Amino acid sequence: MQCFKSKYGPWALVAGASEGLGAAFAEALAKQGLNLILIARRSDKLEELTNALKNKYPIEIKYRALDLADVEPIKLYVSQLGLDIGLLVYNAAYSPIGYFENISDENLAKIVEVNIKAPLLLSKLVLTQMIEKRRGGLVLMSSLAGSQGSPKIATYAASKAFNTILAEGLWKELRKHGIDVLAACAGAISTPGYKNAQTTKDAPGTLDASKVAEKTLRALGKGPTIIPGVINNIARFFMGRIFSRKLAISIMDNNTKNLS
């Protein structure tokens, strides 16, 4: 715990922290003794989470309700805090479900803003400070959906592929500065958002949010990517190494067609 705190503390910034996986990351980091900066759209959820964590852990928490689709106010807020941020966990994602032809231009643009522009520019902001200190960490939440074309969530999947490749490149670039970078390529996670979108039973390999958060943080510093869960690792091996690309896309189509 002390080693983790000295490497990635004293403050951790979690973007997309109101509930589900973001809240699980916040609690996992609180267990490690890190102070938290929590950002998400819903002020009520942030306040609820902040109060719950403060009652359990002797840490400081700051939170602000901000829309991850508009990164400039977030950059301004983080810069004005003047805190020593040693870890950024970018968990926020926007994923309108539907076939490309039916998704509005506005929603397509929002995918880019939340899933690509915000993690890119927020990472740039905090990494500048980490490079000066020669320590720190960056976690970008990606998805197994980004490993191949994924019908009905095609643009979301493409944005997650961007985050994986970005993390892999930064992992190599920033090692010389003592900074660890990790992309967590998760499968299905049991969160409120997933439950609302899924019309049938959970997909094979679905994990609790707390397990994904804990496995991801344990993997930080050990390599550029992690796929939480044994079943998900097996699935990724077959989808990426054994099956043809056409078959892998067809399998994803079968898995995503029940999302709504």
The reply to whether 156 belongs to the active site is yes
8 Å CB contact between 252 and 240: no
Secondary element (H or E) of residue 237:
helix 230-237
Among 57, 63, 90, 156, which one carries the catalytic annotation?
Answer: 156
Strand partners, 65: 40
8 Å CB contact between 235 and 143: no
- Secondary structure (DSSP) of 32-76: TT-EEEEEES-HHHHHHHHHHHHHHSS--EEEEE--TT-HHHHHH
Tokens at residue 126, please? 């905090």
Q: Determine phi and psi for 11, rounding to 5 degrees.
A: -120, 140
8 Å CB contact between 141 and 164: no
Cβ neighbors of 105 (< 8 A, separation 6 or more) are: none
Secondary element (H or E) of residue 86:
strand 85-90
- Which amino acids are annotated catalytic? 156
